[in-house]
Amino acid sequence: MKEIVVISGKGGTGKTSILASFAVLAERKVICDADVDAPDLHLLLKPEIEEEHDFWGREVAFIEKDKCTECGLCLECRFNAIKDFEVDFFSCEGCRLCFYLCPGNAIEMKPNLAGHWFTSRTKYGLFVHAKLEPGQENSGKLVAEVKQAARKIAERERIELILCDGPPGMGCPVISSLSGASLALLVTEPTLSGIHDLERVLDVCCHFGIPAAVVINKYDLDAGNTFEIERFCAEREVEVLARIPFDNVVPEAIVKGMPVVEYTNTNTNTNTNERVSREIKALWKKLEEGIGASGW
Amino acid sequence: MIITIAAGKGGTGKTLVATSLALSIDNVQFIDCDVEEPDAHILLRPEIFSRKPVFIPVPQVDEEKCTGCGKCSEVCVYHAIAVFSQRVLIFPELCHGCGACVHLCPENAISEEGMKVGVVESGKADGIEFIQGKLDIGKPMPTPVIREVKREINPKRTVIIDVAPGTSCPMAEAVKGSDFCILVTEPTPFGLYDLKLAIEVVKKLKVNFGVIINRDGIGDYRLEDYCKSEEIPVLLKIPFQRKIAELYSKGVSLVSGMPEWKEDFNNLFREIKEAR
């Protein structure tokens, strides 16, 4: 089974628009959204939810006031989550230290419903996605559950390909989305921030031994920076698979709630520019060939 | 006063807003809390004077004292300690440094050593006091670095904090305790959906907030309609202009490349002070 994960380091470079287009172009696949704390892919794929599952996060400490003698032992908390003998939900990491130390059994560890994940049907194929409750931690663990569910569905349906939309950044949810990936597709843009973040996220891929390739999105925004990205990729021996031009057709498609390659196919508006879709289709063809040749 | 700049969705222009605000007002301390991908330094170009490594304490077992009882593994909720045939195995990358194993070992056999997870850098950019955190490559947990960076807050200055995208713990950790949060978004369904999630976090943290619409003109009116119906103040609109995008791509802040924007950011600051 092959698994393509789209990540970027910097946010807003076009991960979701590109992955949604792959969902249109690829024939048999399971799609999953590993950006669980700001998921957007569902806005384009319009899933019909078939199954909903609870995601239980780490427990959270709770102090029962009538049992608490304010002895102060719980203030050992390394996360400063206890102030005035109340637990700050956002700071508690559920380590249970206070629970163990409290001599009066005044602390209870409460289960914490941290989010949900869904298996859905879309017109593009089966789709696994999730929603983390706002402010929750442990998004890496939810990403792992989403990916696990996508693999199980793929096995059951004898599907050989998983397309995964990843989160921005390089911390736990990104590392989790990369685990077991056949290829990390790094979508960057020709800004100095884009380049800086590409370097860091490529280092993460190398650290975990995940093969990577690069897509330069909005490449015509800055020719000098695009050249710099190409030079950097050549130096690091990473292939640049596509250069996608900047075009307003991308936000237009998002507003219409459609993957961009589908939007340009169905849209009869004569202003619509085909360049973006052409590049994404060519990129997909390269990826398909790469998968076929089992290069990844 | 502490102002945080957050978004939910990535790439909406947080750093553009944060750096331009910082360059428009006096007596600023700028803190980049996006420790996974800190980019503000590209626009502010600070001179870095000091670098402090960030460590989290991970357990170390004194094998002479250890009886292999397994208590440490039993109390560790992160599964960072395993005991096999009376030998203790530690997985430092899973450890949160909570200290439960140290406190609860009946033989006092566990001490701690620091594991480096990142760095806090301090410097100056013109008159701006500049601080940024950086998570080390391959390290999963940004929050210890964010906590260390926020220790550097200087209450004598106006503190501007650039926040990571998303709506999970790194975002909440950075926004927590601030006096005002600016949520930067774009007028597309992606921007709107993620803004709503970010607002839920900011409300739970009981932080006052307002919205900046960036790339105004690329999408539709649903974002503005939403802000109107929810009575959320739209503090500023930055139009979609190729020139603005080009300045950013070259690492030039909006107010340095187009000084006419300084007044808007000054007004923004005044409005925030009044909203408090």
pLDDT of residue B276: 73
Which of the four pLDDT bands, split at 50, 70 and 90, describes residue A45?
very high
Euclidean distance between CA atoms A40 and A17, whole angstroms: 10
- B160 plus B107 within the same structural domain: no
Which of the four pLDDT bands, split at 50, 70 and 90, describes residue B115?
very high
Euclidean distance between CA atoms A197 and A200, whole angstroms: 5
Domain end among B116, B144, B162: B116
Q: Shortest CB distance from B204 goes to which of A134, A190, A192?
A: A134
Question: Does pLDDT of A296 surpass 70?
Answer: no
Which of the four pLDDT bands, split at 50, 70 and 90, describes residue A265?
confident
For the purposes of burial, counting CB atoms within 10 Å of the CB of A193, is it exposed (0-12), middle (13-18) or buried (19 or more)?
Answer: buried
- A52 plus A65 within the same structural domain: no
Q: Shortest CB distance from B135 goes to which of A94, A170, A192?
A: A170
The parent domain of residue A88 ranges over: 60-111
- B26 plus B65 within the same structural domain: no
Q: Which of B92, B202, B100, B70 is nearest to A109 (CA)?
A: B100
Number of domains, chain A: 2
pLDDT of residue A196: 96
pLDDT of residue B275: 84
**Residue A56 is encoded by which pair of tokens?**
């239980």
**Average pLDDT estimate for A11-39:** 97
**Average pLDDT estimate for B47-52:** 98
**Least Cα separation, residue A284 to chain B (angstroms):** 23
The parent domain of residue B227 ranges over: 2-54+118-275
pLDDT of residue A138: 73
- B44 plus B171 within the same structural domain: yes
Say if the Cβ atoms of B194 and A38 lie within 8 Å: yes
CATH of the domain at B138: 3.40.50.300
Which of the four pLDDT bands, split at 50, 70 and 90, describes residue A4?
very high
CATH of the domain at B85: 3.30.70.20
Domain end among A79, A96, A111: A111
The DSSP 8-state label assigned to residue B93 in this structure reads G
CATH of the domain at A82: 3.30.70.20
pLDDT of residue A272: 60
- Rounded to the nearest integer, the mean pLDDT of chain B is 96
- Judge whether B276 and B34 are in contact, CB under 8 Å: no
- B23 plus B89 within the same structural domain: no
* B105: contact with A, CB 8 A cutoff: no
The answer, yes or no, to whether ipTM is higher than 0.85 is: yes
In chain A, pLDDT over 90 holds for what percent of residues?
A: 91
**Average pLDDT estimate for A80-99:** 94
* B170-195 per-position pLDDT tens digit: 999 999 999 999 999 999 999 999 99
Say if the Cβ atoms of B167 and A135 lie within 8 Å: yes
* B231-263 per-position pLDDT tens digit: 999 999 999 999 999 999 999 999 999 999 999
B 23-42 residues with CB below 8 A of A?
A: 36-37, 39, 42
Question: Does pLDDT of A267 surpass 70?
Answer: no
- A215 plus A237 within the same structural domain: yes
- B190 plus B218 within the same structural domain: yes
Euclidean distance between CA atoms A100 and A73, whole angstroms: 10
- Rounded to a whole number of angstroms, the distance between the first and last alpha carbons of chain B is 10
**Average pLDDT estimate for B103-128:** 97
**Average pLDDT estimate for A92-118:** 96
Q: Phi and psi dihedrals of A15, rounded to 5?
A: -50, -55
Which of the four pLDDT bands, split at 50, 70 and 90, describes residue A269?
low
* A119-149 per-position pLDDT tens digit: 999 999 999 999 999 888 878 999 999 999 9
